[in-house]
Structure formats: structure tokens, C-alpha cells
Amino acid sequence: MSHFGKKLPASMKGTEVKPLSILKLLDFVKNHHVAIPEFQRGFVWKERQVKDLFDSLVKKYPIGSIIIWKTRQKIDARTLDGEDLPRERYLVLDGQQRLTSLYYLCRQQVFAQGRVKVKFHESCDRSVNQLIDFEKFIIVKNDKGRPELKRPKEYSGKFDLGKFEKIIGKYKFPLIIIDLDKYSDAIVVFERINQAGTRLATESIFLSETWNTRTQFGKILKKWKMDNAKYPSSKIDTIIFIHTFALIFQLRYRNKVGRTVEVGVRNLKRIAVFVRDDSTDKYNRLFFDCVCAVGKAVDYLITNFNIYKLGDLPSQTMLTVLSVYFYFKEGNHTAHQMRELKKWFWRSSITNRYIGSGYNQNIGPDAEQMQELADHDRSLKLPPVTKPELSEFKGIDLRTGRSTLRNLIKLALWSSKPTFINNQEVKPQDIESQHSMPQYDHFYPSNLLKKGIGEENINNILNLHYLDKPTNVRKYEKLPSVWLEQEIKKLKPTSNAVKKYFKSELLPFESLSDVKKFEKGLFQKRIKSRKEAFEKIYTRFLKQRHRLFLDVLEKMQKGN
């Protein structure tokens, strides 16, 4: 049985096994215009995996077989060589990542062609900064004199196919060609062969199960992501779109899959069967509308919560439930609906409502409530919130630890609309590029660790501080009382502007004199004395900051 409960086809027209050398494998791809069918997921390998494939071949390790489906079915697919699909098609059912990597490594001149590279990148299930440029790989010798694959930052050569052929010697690539007329049989094979190693992802199973000559969700989603490549919504995990469609399908067609709304494998299977067996293409429109609803949900989050990267969400799975509201909502939002959505966002974030087992437990009932809110403006029934204790923040740094709680604090600070002492508002786009530099994120600078004064907790998320780039450059590694005094002398702000800065940054001070009093004892000569003083001061700072953040979260979860 497959992941969705299907049996293998009783018989095939024929199966042919071809052990091919690297050159013959490349010729096979070229001569038959081998292609990746739309129901396959995109290319997901990282550079490390491409290098490991090369290393395995160098060491004569087996890399597994490549399975090709031979058919005359009119199935949309992307050829590896950029040519049009011939009438008789050779489609990859298993081994896409390996075959794609090998072909583009050895045929770099083909990959470098504009249309081929662009189409490949469009099909990648990777973020832009993780896309691979195959034409830049070269073979070099490592410190032990063994060949390895490199992709230098500066282009310095090309992949030597002749050298590669000699290195791997008589290695034969097992190519299995199966001859099937029915696409449904090919889908079964596709699912079964992908159970042997890493289990096929649920979204890939669903996309393949729903695929037919009329309904092509994979193609719709790829095109939509391509059209919205510049927006955060293009980076959303495929499973979010699948689950959103599943929820909306059940809410619209309750009589088809039962009364309980959920996204378990059984329900996904039932939905897939209805979609695949329908004689029309009506579900294409429904799926497209669901995809657009996810896009609207992301736009809402950007506008209302300053979320410019999906990684800033406490959980990307929140999008599934929120998208249900935007699917059913017609016309303008009422003030009550906006307040209910804000309450839902903060309470769901604080309680990790859609994390782990809570996702499957809550997603169905919450989706039904979202429909009621959209259609009838009915209030959401959300459980009370337990405030996170200070101890829960231990080990949660600016970049590590539980991302849900870390991102919640970052969003809470943005909700306060931080400003500097010159009354200039700090915006996410002003500082986003600086998050890779630790000293730019701390109110108390991280370099205190290097000087032996601070403690490991210096990176605690409650030490978060937002400033624009020019101000951060001036601040650098100075203590707050030092750099703030310099800024005040330079900018000459009013006392109200300074007070506003501390309040908007959720800092437990009202003036520079408050900061100086707070840091008294940090300017002693003996490192040991300074360290002891800082530990007391910093512990008190975190406690006060914790209370300020809780006050903000208390206000936000009420929809204010």
C-alpha cells in the first residue's frame, strides 16, 4: 500500500533496465529530452548535497537507480535541456535531484543558457539565496590530493567532463524505464518508489494524487509563486497551500468528506479522490482562490504586524487558519473583525496554538470560526492566555532557542513603533540587513562577553534593541549611558523625545540620568568588581524588561 493507500498496477507494458556510463546517460537525457513532470516537487537540493553526490561517485559508492516513465500522455513537464516536449515523453519518476545535478554539472553550457537556467530556478523549492548556479562548479584537488567539487565565488573555470569520466571509471548508472499508458498507474509507481528511502512529503503525495489532465494544482502554485517572486508569500511552504485548500474544500463541501473539518492524511486522501475523479476543471479555480487567500493573509500580516519575512512569524502554520478568513471575506472589514483578528494573532502566538499536536487539534475548529467571523462577524472563541514566565526566556537568544517566543518578542517590540531620540521612527526595512551583526541587536553590547564582564545571557532576546544602521554604527560596542550621552549632545533632543524613545523601545528608563544611575558600578577598574556589578544590573534589567513586554502582550491580546 502507498502513503495514500493505493496498490501497484497489476501489470505494465514493459520494464527496461539500462546500465549506462556517464556519457551514455547524458546522451539519453539529450536524445529523449528527459523532463520533470509537474506533479513532481521542485529541485530542493543544497550545494552540500550536490558535492556529496560527486564525492559518492568518486568513491564508487552506489547512488541508486533513476526511474523514467515512458508515455504518450499529454502531461506538462519541464525538459532538462530546455527543448520542447516530444510526442513520446520520458518523465522522471524517481531520481530527479540526482539526474538534474549530474546533467547540469556535466552540461554546464546547456544550463547557462538563459531559458534553461531561468526555468530551473523557477522550479526550485528553495529561497533565492540558496539557488545553485551549476555552471560555476569545478573539479579541484583537496588537501589530501583527492578530487572534490568546488563552486568558487569568483568564476575560474569549468567542469572537466573528461576528467570526471576518468575519475568514476566504469561506474554504471542504473536507468529503469517503465512503459505505462495510464497516468494513474504512473502516479502509483511514483508514490511507491518514494517510500523506499525518505518518505515522500504529504504535499507531494497530495499534488500527485489530485493530478489529472484537467486539475493541475502543482502547475497553478508554481506559476503563482513565480508571478509573486518578489513578495514573502512566494516563500511559503507548499503544505500551507494544501492545508488551506483542504480546509476550505471541507467547509464548502461538507457532505463529501464528513462533518469534521481537519487535515489528517485520511481526509486529504478523500479530498484528492474527489478532485481527481471530477470530470470538470472547477477545482482549479477553487485552488487558485485558496492560493490568493494565502497571499492576502500575508499582506495583512505585513500591514498590521510589520512582518516582512515569513521567518518572523511565531509559526508559519498560523497562515493556514488566517487564510480561511480571507477566502470567505467579501467587502470591507468591520472594526470588530479587525479587533478579533488581532486578538487571534497575539493569543495564538503566545500559546503556540498551531505548534506540534496543537495544530491538528485546533486547526479545524478555528477554521470554522474564521468562516463565521468572515461571513457573520461573529466573535472568535479563544482560550485564555498564560503569560510566559521570565524563566521561559532562558536560552532564547536573538537568533537561537524557541523561535516562537523569540519572534513574539520581536513583534511585540515592533508593535510599540520604536523611535529614536530625534523622534524618527525605526522601521523593519531600516535594520533587517543588520540582524547578522550581533552588536547591532543588543541594548547592552555583546562585546562585554569578550571583555569577561558580561555573562552568556547577554544574548537573551529580552536584550533586543532596534536602531537604524547609521545610529547602530555610532553605538557599536559602547555602554548605553556612554553612547546615549554622545547622541544627546549631538542631536540636542527634548526631554519628551528622549522619554518617548525609552517608552517606545520598551526600556525601563525615562532619561539619561536614569541609565547612569542604573549603570553605577560598571566603571570600576577591577574586572572582577565590574563583572559582579554587571550581573546584578543586567539581571534587574531583564526582569524589568520582561514586565514591560508582558504589559504590551496583555494589551495586544485584547485586540487593542
Question: What pLDDT does residue 231 have?
Answer: 77
Q: What is the percent of the chain where pLDDT is above 70?
A: 86
Assess whether 249 and 364 both reside in one domain: yes
Would you say residue 433 lies in a domain? yes
Instruction: List pLDDT tens digits, range 166-195.
Output: 999 999 999 999 887 766 676 666 666 654
**Mean pLDDT, range 236-242, rounded to an integer:** 87
Give the pLDDT mean for 140-169.
87
Least-confidence region, from 142-151, 381-390, 434-443: 434-443
Final residue of a domain: which of 350, 376, 402?
Answer: 376
pLDDT grade for 285, boundaries at 50, 70 and 90 = very high
Residues 45 and 138 in one domain: yes
Is residue 26 located within the same domain as residue 58? Answer: yes
The pLDDT of 68-97, averaged and rounded, is 88
User: Rounded to the nearest 10 degrees, what angle do helices 96-106 and 47-58 cross at?
Assistant: 80
Give the model's confidence band at 59: pLDDT under 50 very low, under 70 low, under 90 confident, else very high: very high
Characterize the bridge pairing of strands 14-20 and 173-179. antiparallel
Strand bridging mode 77-79 / 147-150: unpaired
Kindly give, in sequence order, each residue whose CB lies less than 8 Å from that of residue 484, ignoring residues fewer than 6 positions away: 421, 512, 515
> Do 418 and 538 have their domain in common?
yes
In a domain, 381, yes or no: no
Q: Cα(72)–Cα(381) distance, rounded to whole angstroms?
A: 54
pLDDT at 245 > cutoff 60: yes
Q: Point out the domain boundary residue: 349, 376, 403.
A: 376
- CA dist., res. 542 & res. 234, Å (int): 37
Q: What is the pLDDT of residue 442?
A: 86
Three-class DSSP category at 228: coil
Which of 376, 409, 439 is a domain's end point?
A: 376
- Choice between 360 and 362, residue whose per-residue pLDDT is larger: 362
- Name the more confident of 537 and 356: 537
What is the rounded CA–CA span in Å between residue 234 and residue 310?
10
> Contact 522/534 with Cβ under 8 angstroms?
yes
Range picked from 100-109, 143-152, 524-533 for highest mean pLDDT: 100-109
The rounded distance, in Å, linking the Cα atoms of 559 and 124 is: 39
Q: Are residues 346 and 239 in the same domain?
A: yes
Contact 534, 448 (CB under 8 A): yes
pLDDT band, residue 274 (cuts 50/70/90): confident
Q: Mean pLDDT, the chain, as a whole number?
A: 84
Dihedral over Cα of 440, 444, 450, 455: its sign: negative
Does residue 278 have a pLDDT over 90? no
Sign of CA dihedral 179, 182, 188, 191: positive
Indicate the pLDDT class of residue 328, thresholds 50, 70 and 90: very high
| ∠ Cα 126 47 314 (to 5°) | 40
Residue 340: what pLDDT?
95
**Top mean-pLDDT range of 125-134, 297-306, 468-477:** 297-306
In tens, the pLDDT along 105-128 reads 999 999 988 889 988 887 787 655
- Based on the structure, what is the number of domains in the chain? 3
Residues 253 and 320 in one domain: yes
Same domain, yes or no, for 244 and 366?
yes
Over residues 53-67, mean pLDDT? 92
Higher pLDDT, 59 or 355: 59
Would you say 165 and 177 are in contact if contact means Cβ atoms under 8 Å apart?
Answer: no
Q: What is the mean predicted confidence (pLDDT) over 248-261?
A: 85
- Which grid coordinates are listed for 344? 487571534
If asked whether residues 473 and 351 sit together in one domain, one would say no
Q: In the numeric block, which cell numbers belong to residue 350?
A: 503566545
Structure confidence by residue, pLDDT tens digits, 493-537: 999 999 999 999 999 999 999 999 988 877 666 657 777 888 888
Q: Is the pLDDT of residue 342 over 60?
A: yes
pLDDT band (50, 70, 90) for residue 322: very high
Query: Is 208 inside a domain boundary?
Result: no
Q: Which residue has the higher pLDDT, 211 or 133?
A: 133
Average pLDDT estimate for 331-359: 90
Is the domain of 194 the same as that of 331?
no
The band of 4, judged by pLDDT with boundaries at 50, 70 and 90, is very low
Residue 8 lies in a domain: no
Q: By residue range, what is the domain housing residue 244?
A: 223-376
Residue type, 541: F
Same-domain pairing of 369 and 437: no
pLDDT at 296: 94
The verdict on 368 and 396 lying in the same domain is no
State the pLDDT at residue 3: 39
d(CA 183, CA 214): 12
User: pLDDT at residue 440 above 70?
Assistant: no
* Alpha-carbon distances, residue 154 vs 131, 135, 147, 169, 418 (angstroms): 16, 12, 19, 30, 41
Pair (24, 81) in one structural domain: yes
Does 9 map to a domain? Answer: no
214, part of any domain = no
d(CA 187, CA 8): 9
pLDDT at 131 > cutoff 50: yes
Residue 27 has pLDDT above 50, yes or no: yes
For the ranges 7-16, 405-414, 496-505, the one whose mean pLDDT is highest: 496-505
Residue 397 DSSP one-character state: B
Does 8 score more than 50 pLDDT?
Answer: no
**Helix runs in 160-264, H state only:** 161-168, 183-193, 202-210, 217-227, 238-252, 254-257
Considering the domain boundaries, does residue 5 fall inside one? no
β-partners of residue 425 are: 419
Question: Residue 120: inside a domain, yes or no?
Answer: yes
